[in-house]
Amino acid sequence: MKTKLGKLRLLAACVSIALSCVACDKKGTTDAASTGPKKDGEKSAEVPAAKKGLPGKGGGSGRRDAGPVAVKVNTATRAMAPRSVSITAPLDGRSQAEVYTKVTGRLTYIGPKEGEAVKVGTVLFRMDRNDPGETFLNMPVVSPINGWVGRWMVKNIGAQITPTTPVVTVVDDDFLRTTIYLSTSEWVSIDENAVASLFVGEEKRLGKIVSIARAADSVSGRGSAVIEVENKDHKWRVGMIARVQVDLEPKMRMLVSSAALNITDQGTYVFVIENATAKRTPVKFALVDSDTAEILEGIDDGAAIVVAGGNFVTDKAAVTVIADDPADKKAH
């Protein structure tokens, strides 16, 4: 009985497979008929450009057979242009002192709170030390400068303190200062009359360069400058990070759209157009901002460089230069 049942199941499976094959055959015949010769007035289904290998969205590899690549170009020229350097740096008080105890002992008194004004001689804290043969009971420690209590580093009465432990910081923040470090070319380009602007958040204030170092930092080789900014309202605080922008002396510069740059792990290049042909040209550059780059080396004054369409261009490819859309110019 079991043998007979098994034969019936096998037969059913064979019939199912045969029916599936017949269905596939019919579908293949229908598809072939739909792609055969069309009757008069009947339209063929259009094949997308990407399938044909034509340029366009998804065109990909068909670019070579599609003729010259359409690109937009700008002329790279040298012109007198402003320069500036932008650096982030912390703010310090014009006068600032970390106050230490002169003897080892216990902290017995804490004076003004953080943010309170103090003058030279104001008692900041007291120390208690009583060793055999020596007595320093409630020895006062005073402020060395006029200013404000910036921060207490030791806040607990009874804490054991040594002369190597800073106890409190006093700052004069009517004016704040910051030190910026510059590359050699920037360092030699500034003087004390250069315009310095400081930004904290959205607020901008004009500063003044009060000193420029005459010797470079021994580790980095960079030169430094100290910039001071007025802070009579005390809204800016010591320790805040400011963005400092210093205007440098204008010079002849070749500024181009950063869209012209093609940056790879083997270097940076642009495409220069000569006789309707693209030439891949290595360059050295410095970014001015997110939209602009300065070409330092690599191309001559007056070169026509590709600023749009470069992703589809290869070295020695034929190109067609298209003009800017007048509507775009009006929009700007």
What does each C-alpha distance from 303 to 32, 85, 138, 139, 247 come to in angstroms? 55, 27, 79, 77, 29
- Which one has a higher pLDDT value, 5 or 215? 215
Structure tokens at 20: 């599936």
Q: Reply yes or no on whether the pLDDT at 301 is more than 50.
A: yes
> Using DSSP, how many helices (H) and how many strands (E) does the chain show?
4, 21
pTM above 0.85, yes or no: no
d(CA 76, CA 271): 12
What domains, with CATH codes, occur in the chain? Answer: 63-83+252-326 (2.40.420.20), 93-172 (2.40.50.100), 175-250 (2.40.30.170)
Q: Reply yes or no on whether the pLDDT at 71 is more than 90.
A: no
Q: Reply yes or no on whether the pLDDT at 6 is more than 60.
A: no
Q: Reply yes or no on whether the pLDDT at 31 is more than 60.
A: no
Segment 134-160 shows an average pLDDT of 86
Q: How confident is the model at residue 111, as a pLDDT?
A: 93
Q: Reply yes or no on whether the pLDDT at 316 is more than 90.
A: no
For the stretch 188-236, pLDDT in tens is: 888 888 999 999 999 999 999 999 999 988 888 899 999 999 999 989 9
Residue from 86, 113, 47 nearest 241 by CA: 86
Q: How confident is the model at residue 75, as a pLDDT?
A: 86
Segment 143-155 shows an average pLDDT of 92
d(CA 161, CA 177): 30
Q: How confident is the model at residue 314, as a pLDDT?
A: 84
Q: Reply yes or no on whether the pLDDT at 24 is more than 80.
A: no
Q: Quick one: DSSP state of residue 23?
A: H
Cβ–Cβ under 8 Å, residues 170 and 145:
yes
Q: Reply yes or no on whether the pLDDT at 80 is more than 90.
A: no
State percent of the chain over pLDDT 70: 75
312 DSSP β-pair partners: none
Q: Reply yes or no on whether the pLDDT at 177 is more than 80.
A: yes
Q: How confident is the model at residue 186, as a pLDDT?
A: 85
Q: Poorest-confidence range of 1-15, 64-78, 314-328?
A: 1-15
- Which one has a higher pLDDT value, 240 or 257? 240
Residue from 145, 134, 20, 60 nearest 95 by CA: 145
Segment 141-158 shows an average pLDDT of 92
Q: How confident is the model at residue 18, as a pLDDT?
A: 55
Residue from 166, 163, 145 nearest 155 by CA: 166
For the stretch 41-63, pLDDT in tens is: 444 444 343 333 334 433 444 45
Cβ–Cβ under 8 Å, residues 109 and 157:
yes
Cβ–Cβ under 8 Å, residues 200 and 206:
no
272 DSSP β-pair partners: 279, 305
Q: How confident is the model at residue 138, as a pLDDT?
A: 77
For the stretch 246-292, pLDDT in tens is: 988 788 888 888 888 888 888 898 899 888 888 888 988 888 777 88
What does each C-alpha distance from 219 to 115, 216, 266, 306 come to in angstroms? 36, 9, 30, 41
